[in-house]
């Protein structure tokens, strides 16, 4: 509630798609999103590990399932998210040591992060297919 007589003229914009965010914000937001996706995908990974250890027959069935195209796309996505999250974590550790804490250094670090993550995504695609 505004105090009586307040002339608050600040703009209110709650639509994030219309905001001009710096690249460091995108790096931070995507690091958080990748963490949530990793947590969600861990359920699939634990299920696959359990199925692979249950019996020789279930291992063979899992191997057949994992050779499918859709499953390879899902596996690729999990690997890309894992790689991005790890790289972003390393970036944060480097910043914690005092490197790239200013805006220019942070922006350079974010650009390097996105470039290396994109390269890793291509490499994972080549490895899987």
Condensed to tens digits (0 to 9), the pLDDT of residues 51-102 reads: 999 999 999 999 999 999 999 999 999 999 999 999 999 999 999 999 999 9
Give 116: exposed, middle or buried? Use CB within 10 Å, 0-12, 13-18, 19+: middle
Give CA separation, 106 vs 34, 94, 99, in Å: 19, 10, 9
Whole-number pLDDT of residue 38: 97
Whole-number pLDDT of residue 44: 92
Whole-number pLDDT of residue 2: 56
Among 116, 9, 125, residue whose Cα is nearest residue 77: 125
- Confidence label for 1 from pLDDT (cuts 50, 70 and 90): low
Task: Classify domain 27-128 at the CATH class level.
Answer: mainly alpha
**Rounded to an integer, what distance in angstroms lies between the CA atom of residue 47 and that of residue 8?**
54
Instruction: Give the mean model confidence (pLDDT) for residues 98-127.
Output: 96
Whole-number pLDDT of residue 7: 72
**Rounded to an integer, what distance in angstroms lies between the CA atom of residue 43 and that of residue 90?**
24
Whole-number pLDDT of residue 107: 96
Instruction: Give the mean model confidence (pLDDT) for residues 93-112.
Output: 95
Whole-number pLDDT of residue 5: 60
Structural contact between residues 61 and 51, judged by C-beta atoms closer than 8 angstroms: yes
Condensed to tens digits (0 to 9), the pLDDT of residues 6-49 reads: 677 776 767 767 778 899 999 999 999 999 999 999 999 999 99
């Amino acid at each position: 509630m505004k105090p009586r007589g307040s002339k608050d003229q600040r703009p209110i914009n709650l639509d994030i798609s219309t905001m001009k965010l710096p690249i460091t914000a995108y790096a931070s937001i995507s690091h958080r999103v990748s963490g949530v996706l990793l947590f969600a995908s861990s359920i699939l990974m634990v299920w696959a590990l359990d199925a692979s250890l249950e019996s020789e027959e279930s291992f063979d069935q899992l191997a057949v399932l994992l050779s499918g195209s859709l499953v390879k796309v899902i596996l690729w996505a999990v690997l890309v998210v894992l790689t991005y999250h790890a790289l972003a974590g390393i970036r944060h550790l480097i910043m914690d040591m005092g490197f790239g804490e200013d805006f220019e250094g942070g922006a350079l670090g974010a650009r390097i992060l996105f470039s290396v993550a994109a390269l890793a995504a291509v490499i994972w695609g080549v490895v899987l297919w």
